[in-house]
Amino acid sequence: MENSLKTTWVQSEEKLGQYRISLLNWFDEQRRDLPWRQDPSLYKTVVSEFMLQQTRVSTVIPYFTNWLNKFPDFYSLSQADEKEVLKAWEGLGYYSRARNLHQLSKTAANWKHPPVSVKEWQTLPGVGPYIAAAVTSISLDQPEAVCDGNVVRVLSRLFAISEIFKDGATAQKKLRPLAQKLINSGRPGDYNQAVMELGATYAIVHLPCAQPARFFPTVSRADKETGQIVLRSPAKQKKQPVFGDTGLSPKTVC
């Protein structure tokens, strides 16, 4: 995605800053009220990210609430029997996630201070590049960009990327450097959540923005009544593969 990195507005710190502010302003107003965002903690972030792998937000919410009631912190989870853990996970599927989370808790329960680098987090059970970036940015304020299916969808529209990727993993690997370039280092966790929220909740993306449409190469028009800018879908990509938790049916994804 070298061409996207060379896009004029990406190279302008002023315009890049305006994009970040616009996205965060939208997120501050429109963010969903999710249980792991209420009184946030490292433990809540870790649990939610494990549960959200390949699982819709609407499915995860009741499981997350029940989980917190049974295992409110790393220590209580570390002391639980595996059968009890798997029973609490029952219905979410992919039980290796529960086993890995249980094993991780046994390490985390003994932390005086949690590791802050993605490299350290990726040595833990079940933690790959995405979870490592999500946890360190959201809970530890590290400027590490996430790149999941929702981020792929937003970046593909924003930069009119027409390439059809082999699979989700390939798309995420190729777009990760671009995601990293765009991250807001002042509020990295909120920025990551904002991009994912945008990808998960909008098909035709409406990004409230006070900046002129010329700041965004793929902007088709500025809505005169609302002041919002409208991002058009990538050219030549009518049947774009759908990756990640969109919260939308495939027919509604441009």
Distance of CA 67 to the CA centre of its chain: 21
Signed CA dihedral, 95, 100, 101, 102: sign only: positive
Q: Do 85 and 133 belong together in one domain?
A: yes
Q: Is residue 34 part of a domain?
A: no
How much is the pLDDT for 226? 43
Q: Do 134 and 157 belong together in one domain?
A: no
Domain containing residue 87: 41-138
Q: Do 118 and 170 belong together in one domain?
A: no
What is d(CA 69, CA 84) in angstroms, rounded to the nearest whole number?
A: 13
Q: Provide CB contacts within 8 A for 69, sequence distance 6+.
A: none
Distance of CA 154 to the CA centre of its chain: 11
Note the pLDDT tens digit of each residue in 74-89. 999 999 999 999 999 9
Task: State the catalytic residue, choosing from 14, 49, 84, 197.
Answer: 49
Pairing, β 228-231 against β 219-222: antiparallel
Report phi then psi at 127, rounded to 5.
Answer: -105, 115
Residue 67 contacts residue 85 (beta carbons within 8 Å): no
As for how many domains the chain has, the answer is 2
User: Where does a domain end: 115, 138, 161?
Assistant: 138
Stronger pLDDT, 1 or 252, i.e. the higher one: 1
Domain of 188: which CATH number?
Answer: 1.10.1670
Note the pLDDT tens digit of each residue in 126-153. 999 999 999 999 999 999 999 998 899 8
In the numeric block, which tokens belong to residue 29?
């107003």
How much is the pLDDT for 118? 97
Q: Do 185 and 92 belong together in one domain?
A: no
What is d(CA 133, CA 42) in angstroms, rounded to the nearest whole number?
A: 13
Residue type, 28: D
Domain of 63: which CATH number?
Answer: 1.10.340.30
Stronger pLDDT, 199 or 94, i.e. the higher one: 94
Question: What percentage of the chain exceeds 90 in pLDDT?
Answer: 58
Whether the model pTM is above 0.85 = no
Q: Do 218 and 150 belong together in one domain?
A: yes
pLDDT above 50: residue 161: yes
Residue 227 contacts residue 42 (beta carbons within 8 Å): no
pLDDT above 70: residue 16: yes
Q: Do 112 and 157 belong together in one domain?
A: no
Q: Do 202 and 247 belong together in one domain?
A: yes
Assess whether 13 carries a catalytic annotation.
no
Q: 105: pLDDT confidence band, cut at 50, 70 and 90?
A: very high
- 85 sits in which H/E element: helix 82-89
Q: Within the chain, what is the greatest distance between any pair of CA atoms?
A: 59
User: Where does a domain end: 138, 165, 192?
Assistant: 138
Residue 201 has a CB neighbour count (10 Å cut-off) of 16
How much is the pLDDT for 157? 80
Q: Do 59 and 152 belong together in one domain?
A: no
Q: Do 209 and 162 belong together in one domain?
A: yes
